[in-house]
Amino acid sequence: MLLLVLAVGLICYHVYKSIKPPPPIPLPENVSEICPRVKLNDGRYLAYRELGFPKDKAKNKIIILHGFGSSKLVDLKITQEMIDEFEIYFLLFDRAGYGESDAHPSRTVKTDTYDIEELADKLQIGPKFHVLGMSLGAYPVYGCLKYIPHRLSGATLVVPLLNFWWSSMPQSLLSAALKKLPIQNQWTFRVAHYLPWLLYWWLTQKWFSPFSPNPRETMTERDIELADKHTKHSYIKESALRQGEYVSKHRDIIASFENWEFDPTELLNPFSDGNEGSVHMWCALEDKQILREALLYICDKLPWIKLRQVPEAGHLIIHEKQHFEDIIKTACT
């Protein structure tokens, strides 16, 4: 009997250890000497990077929200001439748990949104700013449109993620969007939604791959080329994921696919009262990850979101110089 109790205890301990996420890997003590950071009201620090025109003189102030597994070091494909022409100030920062930004213990769409607002205030960039999010990193843009619309001069969603459990969109459409992805990816997102406490184990176990091992199932040939150039450098991984994958990538997945407090189709136009500004959504017509019809549905329900469809472009459109410049020009005009 004692041996049975010990065996059960050992099994329970092993199960507990396998599903319990690790704490963040500590940052170096001199991290604030490595890159600029600001202290938030809750004691956390956010690391940031400023580019372009001086913020006190800039006509356009754009906060860039990096995508999944990326960081403030994302390469912006834009010329100095264009920055000067449109007088653009760029603010990039590591979202909570990425790079040199402290992790949030329970990151959500709302917490990411208020991180953006507080960072803007701490850096004194002004009462209004434009937010631009790409891919999975676009979910805080939806949050800004919901929670801080009065702070926006504009918003841009580039190949934005779809939460397959938004309640106000047709379930047949969201089901089709989910089925567009490889089966491994589908199950990973289901686990993130229904069993978020199990996600750490799901993504770290060695029995099966939680994502498709074949990049051609989710990326075009051009996407693969761009990924090799811009997203697979060792320094990006070392910087973006230096605190561990759970507080960065895993928490990103949970925040994206958990139940939100709102659906995008319920958003109100932040510029309906004569306030200057616009919202743009960019759809890449060869995107293998985002269902075009779902984006069309959102823009049909919210006609104040201007849909931009780009032919012969894949999911990594943001890394194409011509397309990125078009995105920025549209945001600035």
Q: What is the pLDDT along the chain (333 residues), one digit of tens a residue?
A: 555 444 444 444 445 556 688 888 899 888 888 899 999 999 999 999 999 999 999 999 999 999 999 999 888 889 999 999 999 999 999 999 999 999 998 999 999 999 999 999 999 999 999 999 999 999 999 999 999 999 999 999 999 999 999 999 999 999 999 999 999 999 999 999 999 999 999 999 999 999 999 999 999 999 999 888 876 566 566 789 999 999 999 999 999 999 999 999 999 999 987 778 899 999 999 999 999 999 999 999 999 999 999 999 999 999 999 999 999 999 998
The pTM (predicted TM-score) of the whole model is 0.93
Cβ contacts of residue 115 below 8 Å, gap of 6+?
40, 46, 95, 96, 104
